[in-house]
Amino acid sequence: MVVERRQRDAASASPRLKAAVRDLSFYYDRQRALSDVALPIREHRVTALIGPSGCGKTTLLRCFNRMHDLYPGNRCTGELRLYPDDIDLLSRDVDPIAVRMRIAMVFQKPNPFPRSVYENVAYGLRVRGMRSRVVLDERVEQALRSAALWDEVKDRLDAPGASLSGGQQQRLCIARALATDPEMVLFDEPTAALDPVATSNIEQLISELRSTVTIVIVTHNMQQAARVSDDTAYMYLGRVVEFGTTDEIFIRPRMKQTEDYITGRFG
């Protein structure tokens, strides 16, 4: 498996950047949550953020779609560049809504809207002012197929989203995120609330999605990071301690601390 992985990495060693975090520091009021973070995000790759609780990985993830703007009292310095257009996502001049239109997010707990399965997926399209029933039908089906949910729900598109099982709800949330053709999808511990079968479905889905979108995933589960990601950043106390391809991080980490965390001796 490791050999396969190496080959895949070698074949796919395209270093094209989708995004780059530079000197990012983040503060909740006075308290510093991220310190001088630097991180490249490769296009069409899965980047995993790992580290013990409170290390800032979710805070970093939520910078990508400006979720922090929803709450007062936050402050950040540094840059988060998005390519190819090379804009700073964190800039005051950039509209957070425009950012979220391009970068979707899947949350820790499945959070379908109190609407039908169909309307959940169509939500982002409707927000963007799309009205044509034909286009909506097509995009909803496409998104549900991409999220490997179509076959299970095609006969009950009008059922409430909350009537699905937990794993299905999470795939519904993934379909919702995919429906608007985002360039990046952020996953915040997407399987934390799911059973092992549903977890493995979601992991497989994430691996497949890589061909069309760039993915950043926060996970507590080291095996998960090893299974689904191409690159891994190990974070501790608001800093990126080590970043590299997932194989490097998991097989021959450079830092003693990373190794301790990965082997379970710490964290």
Number of residues that bind other proteins (CB under 8 A): 27
**Under rule CB under 8 A, residue 199 binds other proteins:** no
Contact 79, 90 (CB under 8 A): yes
**Under rule CB under 8 A, residue 3 binds other proteins:** no
Give me the residues paired with residue 74 across strands: 28
**Under rule CB under 8 A, residue 192 binds other proteins:** no
Residue closer to other proteins by CB (options 75, 126) is 126
Residue closer to other proteins by CB (options 99, 249) is 99
Residue closer to other proteins by CB (options 75, 128) is 128
Residue closer to other proteins by CB (options 125, 206) is 125
Residue closer to other proteins by CB (options 38, 162) is 162
Residue closer to other proteins by CB (options 65, 224) is 65
Q: Tell the smallest beta-carbon distance from residue 29 to other proteins (Å).
A: 15
**Under rule CB under 8 A, residue 131 binds other proteins:** no
Residue closer to other proteins by CB (options 46, 185) is 185
Query: For other proteins, which residue of 17, 113, 221, 244 counts as binding (CB under 8 A)?
Result: 113
232 Cβ contact partners less than 8 Å away, ≥ 6 residues apart: 47, 48, 49, 50, 225, 243, 244, 245, 246, 249, 250
Which range, of 31-39, 82-90, 111-119, 247-255, touches other proteins by CB under 8 A? 111-119
Query: For other proteins, which residue of 115, 145, 220, 239 counts as binding (CB under 8 A)?
Result: 115
Contact 225, 50 (CB under 8 A): yes
Residue 26 to residue 159: CA distance in whole angstroms:
41
**Under rule CB under 8 A, residue 67 binds other proteins:** yes
Q: What is each CA distance from 255 to 57, 152, 240, 259, in whole angstroms?
A: 18, 45, 12, 7
Q: What is each CA distance from 105 to 43, 97, 147, 179, 241, in whole angstroms?
A: 17, 13, 14, 12, 25
Give me the residues paired with residue 234 across strands: 50, 242
Q: What is each CA distance from 235 to 30, 52, 102, 183, in whole angstroms?
A: 21, 8, 26, 24
**Under rule CB under 8 A, residue 180 binds other proteins:** yes
**Under rule CB under 8 A, residue 28 binds other proteins:** no
How do beta strands 17-28 and 31-42 pair?
A: antiparallel
Residue 82 to residue 85: CA distance in whole angstroms:
7
Query: For other proteins, which residue of 162, 192, 193, 237 counts as binding (CB under 8 A)?
Result: 162
Residue 204 CB coordination number (10 Å): 13
Q: Given phi > 0 = left and psi -120 to 50 = alpha, else beta, which region is 252?
A: beta
**Under rule CB under 8 A, residue 73 binds other proteins:** no
**Residues near other proteins, by CB under 8 A:** 65, 67, 70, 72, 97-98, 100-101, 104-105, 107, 109, 111, 113-115, 123-124, 126-128, 160, 162, 173, 176-177, 180
